[in-house]
Amino acid sequence: GAGVSQTPSNKVTEKGKYVELRCDPISGHTALYWYRQSLGQGPEFLIYFQGTGAADDSGLPNDRFFAVRPEGSVSTLKIQRTERGDSAVYLCASSLVGGLTTDTQYFGPGTRLTVL
Amino acid sequence: GQQLNQSPQSMFIQEGEDVSMNCTSSSIFNTWLWYKQDPGEGPVLLIALYKAGELTSNGRLTAQFGITRKDSFLNISASIPSDVGIYFCAGRVNAGNMLTFGGGTRLMVKP
């Protein structure tokens, strides 16, 4: 079946602009995660959804970052007033349940965001 | 910032050699995971460890969950060119929680 998909694959924007990044999780997966991966580093957690609600948003760096998942499937990560330091690959992952020890997170290919 | 220290940062080895990499943490994790990431792709799960002391194999890969729950290692035996990539350890405290990743080990294999 289809894996996690993310669009766009690449996004170039100018400092100060607003961007939206989309994630389509694996069908039937109730848990969805966003991570940010800077060059040469491991992914860093941003936010976790269980269904439609954000169960943990402790990784969002500041109030310019916001994410939604209105119908419990597709999620959108929104970044306002982008800064050059926001440049990174934004990864989305989904898992079947989210509440089991053996629950596996499956990652999408990411969106590479470049802020000029 | 990241809490997991992964080493080595990079390795350049001959095909057929065995590889070992490890991850240490200042805090306890209840699940340890090892992922591989190829260029332009997201991380793919290789091995998951759920109990302290657990030793698990997946083909040529073997990983162990440290007794203290603060470390893990991954071994790759008889490396082949397609093993090239970046390997990440990741820890999780509770089910459903976020993963905390190490900085990665870049593996390069010379045929």
The pLDDT tens digits along chain A (116 residues) read 589 999 999 999 999 999 999 999 999 999 999 999 999 999 999 999 999 999 999 999 999 999 999 999 999 999 999 999 999 999 999 999 867 777 889 999 999 999 99
Please state the rounded mean pLDDT for residues B45-57.
Answer: 95
Question: How close A46 comes to chain B (CA, Å)?
Answer: 9
Which one, of A22, A41, A47, lies nearest residue A113 by Cα?
A: A22
- Residues paired with residue B17 on neighbouring β-strands, in sequence order: none
A75-79 vs A19-24, strand pairing mode: antiparallel
Question: How close A80 comes to chain B (CA, Å)?
Answer: 22
State percent of chain B over pLDDT 70. 96
Please report, for residues A25, A103, B81, B94, B99, the alpha-carbon distance to residue B51 in angstroms, rounded to integers and kept in the order given.
28, 15, 31, 13, 16
Please state the rounded mean pLDDT for residues B80-107.
Answer: 92
A107·B44 Cβ contact <8 A = yes
Q: Are B72 and B52 in contact (CB under 8 A)?
A: no
Question: How close A13 comes to chain B (CA, Å)?
Answer: 20
- Average pLDDT, rounded, for chain B: 93
What is the pLDDT at residue B1?
53
Q: How far apart are CA A116 and CA A10, in angstroms?
A: 13
Hey, of A50, A105, A106, which one would you mutate to test binding to chain B, going by the most B CBs within 10 A of its CB? A105
User: Does residue A68 belong to the interface with chain B, where contact is any CB pair within 8 Å?
Assistant: no
Question: Could you tell me the two tokens for B79?
Answer: 């490396």
Which one, of B47, B49, B76, lies nearest residue B61 by Cα?
A: B76
In eight-state DSSP terms, residue A96 is S
Q: How far apart are CA B93 and CA B13, in angstroms?
A: 33
B4·A42 Cβ contact <8 A = yes
What is the pLDDT at residue A46?
97
Q: How many CA atoms lie within 13 A of B60 on its CB side?
A: 12
